[in-house]
Amino acid sequence: MSEKKKVVLLGATGSIGSNTLEVLRELSATLELYGIAGNTRERELGAIAREFSVPRAVLADETAWSRAKKDGAFPPDTEASCGEDALIDLVTDKRADIILVASSGTSALRPTLAAIEAGKPIALANKELLVLAGKFITVAAKRKKVPLLPVDSEHNALFQCLEGRRSTEVTRLVLTASGGAFLDRPLSELDRVTPADALAHPNWSMGPKITVDSATMANKGLEMIEAHWLFSMPSDRIEVVLHRQSVIHSLVELVDGSILAQLSPPSMTFAIHHALTYPRRTPTTRPTLNFAQSHRLDLEPVPLDRFPCLRLARQALEAAGVAPAIFNTANQTAVEAFLEGRLDFLEIPRLIEKTLDRFDNFEPRGLQDVLNLEQLVRQETTERIDRKTWKKTS
């Protein structure tokens, strides 16, 4: 019997992490959870370490690490540590076979680059990393011949449809979008929606930030930018189409007019399963599409007047440079403020547009340029939200 593939999971306590744990339970005969990392939820991380007998665990937050040591959150057989250096040591561990990056934000940026330098395959579920630093991540991955395996359902679908095909055979990539919680709500009512309303997604169970992004369709804008970096595709050959059922996860049109699509039930477990077992295909015990029942597969154009974030993301992608990073940081700050009740739903795209206009675009020379800009954009955007000055002319 061959040795189990050892998985390191960053963001183990988040929504993608939870789905990954389901896949690991299902595929325990071939996959082993070797390392886990989280930010502040030390008890949950400790429970995962106990269930899976995880050899190594890392907490990013020092306060959570202090609580964990005091309360004995981790089992004695788990080597637990704290901080970015510990995280880098974990992802470059010679015993790790694949790194699944499921954490949000930029905390995993340097560890991900370190893992690539160590030759580790990356299963990527963090949108921000490619949006902020796609140039640096993809160049490093090509240089080290490290596969970037998409875990987002849309990009995983594109990856499967494109596998074995030459770029000259491809006409366009088509990302599908559910439309989120407010697709059929009158535009006149959107100024009164609450965070609880936005989090009531009709198809997917996801974290709060990405669920709000689904309602604004900022997530689909970020996915266009991701697709550009993952598949070296120019923006004018990346499209978005509404698909309410979330069964077709993406489509690829070929030069002869054929269109390939990847279908599965609306669950992240299928994309995670594919990424962790790649390049093999292994059986699943999860319910798949039942064609003894009727299914509707509707495809509709996106009404851009309802989803201005999608328009702004395309503009940022076409502008290139650091414009996508500005879009991402402004959106992230705005969504956090909306979830905290400090910003109205319709103010999210307005704030993003003001922020894109406020900052000059440039081509970053290195990773630190992007990180410095992100900090500056976040600081100024937060101040503008607090003062409400973003509503005025900059």
Cβ–Cβ under 8 Å, residues 33 and 59: no
* Token pair 């050899």: residue: 55
DSSP H or E segment with residue 128: helix 127-144
Report CA 131 to chain centroid distance, whole Å. Answer: 10
Mean of the per-residue pLDDT values of the chain: 93
170-177/238-242 β-pairing: parallel
53 plus 184 within the same structural domain? no
DSSP 72: T
pLDDT attached to residue 348: 95
- Which amino acid, one-letter code, is at 32? E
| Structure-token match 């890392």, residue found | 58
Does residue 83 form part of some domain? yes
Q: Do 314 and 344 sit in the same domain of this protein?
A: yes
Is the Cα dihedral 9, 122, 238, 280 positive or negative? negative
pLDDT of the residue at 210: 82
Over 80: is that where the pLDDT of 203 sits?
A: no
CB 247 within 8 A of CB 291: no
Q: How many domains does the chain have?
A: 2
**Average pLDDT estimate for 31-57:** 96
| Arithmetic mean of pLDDT, 188-213 | 80
Indicate whether 91 and 221 sit together in one domain. Answer: no
Residue 2 pLDDT class (50, 70, 90 cuts): low
Q: Is residue 279 part of a domain?
A: no
Is 157's pLDDT higher than 90? yes
Last residue of a domain, one of 106, 133, 151: 151
pLDDT of 85 strictly over 60: yes
The residue to which tokens 């992004």 are assigned: 213
Residue 263 β-bridge partners: 248
pLDDT at 105: 76
Residue 106's domain comprises 5-151
CA distance 218 to 220: 5
Q: Does the pTM exceed 0.75? A: yes
Do residue 39 and residue 58 come from a single domain?
yes
Residue 176 within a domain: yes
128-148 pLDDT, tens digit per residue, is 899 999 999 999 999 999 999
Residues 132 and 175 grouped into a single domain: no
pLDDT at 205 over 70: no
**pLDDT over 80 (residue 206):** no
Q: Say whether both 115 and 161 belong to one domain.
A: no
269-291 pLDDT tens trace: 999 999 999 999 999 999 999 99
| % of the chain surpassing 90 pLDDT | 83
Tell me which of 104, 132, 151 is where a domain ends. Answer: 151
Identify whether residues 29 and 113 lie together within a single domain: yes
- Are 142 and 29 part of one and the same domain? yes
pLDDT tier for residue 1 given thresholds of 50, 70 and 90: very low
Establish if 277 belongs to a structural domain. no
For 286-339, write each residue's pLDDT tens digit. 999 999 999 999 999 999 889 999 999 999 999 999 999 999 999 999 999 999
| Residue 249 lies inside a defined structural domain of this protein | yes
Which secondary structure element, helix H or strand E, spans residue 38, and what is its range?
A: strand 31-38
CB 50 within 8 A of CB 70: no
Nearest-angstrom CA–CA distance, 369 and 356: 17
Band (18; pLDDT cuts 50, 70, 90): very high
Q: Looking at residues 240-245, what average pLDDT do you find?
A: 95
Q: Which of 178-182, 228-232, 332-336 is predicted least confidently?
A: 178-182
Residue 240, judged by CB atoms within 10 A of its CB (0-12, 13-18, 19+), counts as buried
Among 105, 126, 151, identify where a domain stops. Answer: 151
The span from the CA of 196 to the CA of 73, in Å, is: 32
Residues 6+ away with beta carbon under 8 Å from 238: 172, 173, 175, 224, 227, 228
Do 185 and 305 belong together in one domain? yes
Q: Same domain, yes or no, for 10 and 78?
A: yes
CATH code (residue 145): 3.40.50.720
What is the reported pLDDT for 393? 44
Same domain, 204 and 332: yes
Task: Verify that 132 and 167 share a domain, yes or no.
Answer: no
DSSP string, 208-276: HHHHHHHHHTHHHHHHHHHHHHHHT--GGGEEEEE-TT--EEEEEEETTS-EEEEE--S-THHHHHHHH
Omega into 279 within 30° of 0, i.e. cis? yes
pLDDT at 271 (0 to 100): 97
**Residue 214 identity (one-letter amino acid):** S
